[in-house]
Structure 1
Amino acid sequence: MSIHFKEVKHMFYSVVLTLQAISSGQITSFVGQKIHGWLFSLLKKADANLAPALHASVPNKAFTVSSFLGRKLNSTLEINEGELYKIRLTFLNDNVFQAISGEIYELLARAIPIQLERVKFIINLLTVDPEDPWSGFTTEEELLESVNENREIALKFYTPTCFRIGDLHLREPEPEKVFTSLLCKWNTHCSFKFDENLRDKFKEIVILESDIIQKRVQFSHFYIQGFVGSVKYKLPEIPSVIKTANILANFAFYSGVGYKTTMGLGQVKRL
């Protein structure tokens, strides 16, 4: 499959914030949901018109958030004053990144507290350094030009991942669902559009190895269950699928996979 594009300028960002607790307390529901609310409050302050437009862009919004990196997902969190906690924000749109980053830099420079549930934090550090395993940046052009035609793709899902089909939540790492989710996110936010007919060809991708468990997280008024762990996929000998799936697997670091990536679900890395 050959790819042709003109002046691709879209950038993707993964920003890691280091927060320091300035009070102690509990966060009783999934941190990703709290960070989502905080992020939207920043966006409303930065751009009153952009916030409602972004909120209405269902289901493939231009950002994702994490929970606290490396912390438990499925229980009440005890927050201790003085401790450091890391969160990650990714952006698939320059306007959203610029609006949010400007507000975050002000909070950082002036040590203005932020509040998640009843606990207050200050931002100690913002990084997009690719040396950090959870931060970095790339462009649409770089992803499209990456020479990677492996027929085996391994992904690690760090937070519960599921796919919503109507009223159902599908909780298995089915190849078609994983790569179709990535295809939809890519085609929503990128200049170059992949052929939507690839969805049918994704059905020929198979799982070689799977080491997953089911995990649930408690939101304010409901819980969601999904899979976490590592999965290795084998691609069919179809050049368009091999090229596209490899690009999408690299894109997954920024886009997330599946349902409610804007609230901390579906955080994934290519291994």
Structure 2
Amino acid sequence: MVAGRSSQTWTVLFTRRNAVSDTMMSEKRLYAIVLRLAAMRRGALPRDHGDQARAALLSLIREGDSPLAKFLHDENIAKPYTISLVKGGKRGKDGASHFGDGDTADWRFTLLLEPAFEALWRKYLLNNRLPHVRIGWMHFAVVDAFVSGFGHADSGNISVDELIDRWTVPPDELSRRIVLDFQSPTAFNLGQDRETKAYRIRSHPDARTLFSSLRKRWVKLGGADAGDEFDEWVSQSVEQDAFHVRTQKVRVERRPITGFMGQVAYTVHGRDLSWLPYLHLLADLSFWTGAGYQTTRGMGQVRNIMT
């Protein structure tokens, strides 16, 4: 009975899209871009430079499409991009990354909106001269750019349809174990407490919280919503095993937030594999969307390292 339900669930999940939503989905493409930077002079980036990195990305987009950059900055919408902090330099006792003249670093961001990719990549980065970018007080030359997935493992692009096709397989052919590497502090905003009005932040790799958050991101991209039934299945069937995990406090918009970092294994137990393909899809999605709170300022950067 469980096996039959399992097969039916994943089949219905990936086919119950009407013609309009199917067309919209097929046009969506997700991009992960890595810029290879070289410091133009000596300087340092503070450990928490998410706000500065966000401003730098919007500045790059502004060069290709100023109205779009203004829209992304001003509108109160789910932002169609994520940003990683700059990786490079030498870590000082102050926690900052220090660069000498010409020292290189990698800076990754993802774009979940085709016009943003057009503005940034085709109109700006692919012209005859690569730009320079200012992040905080540091000025970097862009010496290379990766988006294919071949030149840099953290880059790539995929259509939403391709992502669906990758996981449209029978559940019993999939691994029950998923390992995610949370590469920057990750936390989940559970909303405001009704009485105290204080924001509730969860700094724990809880399976239900994580995959419910990713499910909602998938729905915003136009994907099928498995709803509360999926969340309940995760609660009943998925156990997390955190190893090599630590917490780190970061400052975002001048507010301290504690997040977790490290590798976490999520294992499905029991006979009911109903939502296993959907679980794998959401784990895969995290490479593009990040997970949790403030992914537009460097938090919640995730890699799926084993399925």
State the TM-score, normalized to the length of structure 2. 0.79
> Could you tell me how far 1:29 is from its partner in structure 2?
4.8
Given the alignment of the two structures, is residue 214 of structure 1 paired with residue 247 of structure 2, yes or no? yes
The 5-angstrom pairing of residues 1-271 of structure 1 reads 1-2=10-11, 3-4=14-15, 5=17, 6-7=22-23, 8-55=26-73, 60-69=78-87, 75-102=95-122, 104-105=124-125, 109-131=128-150, 132-146=152-166, 147=169, 149-166=174-191, 167-190=199-222, 192-197=223-228, 198-211=230-243, 212-219=245-252, 221-236=254-269, 237-271=271-305
State the TM-score, normalized to the length of structure 1. 0.89
What SS class does the counterpart of residue 69 from structure 2 fall into?
A: helix
CA distance in 2: counterparts of 1:88 and 1:217, whole angstroms: 19
Which amino acid letter does the alignment assign opposite residue 118 of structure 1? W
> Could you tell me how far 1:220 is from its partner in structure 2?
5.9
Deviations 1:140-171 (A, max 9, x none): 11111113632221111000000012212110
Identify if the C-alpha distance between structure 1 residues 20 and 254 changes in structure 2 by more than 3 Å, giving closer, same or farther: same
Per mean C-alpha deviation after superposition, the further-off stretch among 200-209 and 153-162 is 200-209
CA distance in 2: counterparts of 1:176 and 1:59, whole angstroms: 24
What SS class does the counterpart of residue 275 from structure 2 fall into?
A: helix
> Could you tell me how far 1:104 is from its partner in structure 2?
4.2
Larger Rg: 2
Identify if the C-alpha distance between structure 1 residues 9 and 149 changes in structure 2 by more than 3 Å, giving closer, same or farther: farther
What SS class does the counterpart of residue 87 from structure 2 fall into?
A: coil
Deviations 1:180-206 (A, max 9, x none): 11111111123x322222233332243
Which amino acid letter does the alignment assign opposite residue 136 of structure 1? G
What SS class does the counterpart of residue 224 from structure 1 fall into?
A: strand
Q: Report how many aligned residue pairs link the two structures.
A: 269
CA distance in 2: counterparts of 1:251 and 1:244, whole angstroms: 10
CA distance in 2: counterparts of 1:98 and 1:11, whole angstroms: 12
> Could you tell me how far 1:57 is from its partner in structure 2?
5.8
Per mean C-alpha deviation after superposition, the further-off stretch among 175-184 and 233-242 is 233-242
> Could you tell me how far 1:232 is from its partner in structure 2?
0.8
> Could you tell me how far 1:9 is from its partner in structure 2?
2.5
Which amino acid letter does the alignment assign opposite residue 55 of structure 2? G
Percent identity of equivalent pairs: 25
Identify if the C-alpha distance between structure 1 residues 64 and 208 changes in structure 2 by more than 3 Å, giving closer, same or farther: closer
CA distance in 1: counterparts of 2:28 and 2:274, whole angstroms: 22
What SS class does the counterpart of residue 282 from structure 2 fall into?
A: helix
RMSD value, Cα = 2.4
The 4+ residue runs of structure 1 with deviation greater than 4 A are 56-59, 70-74
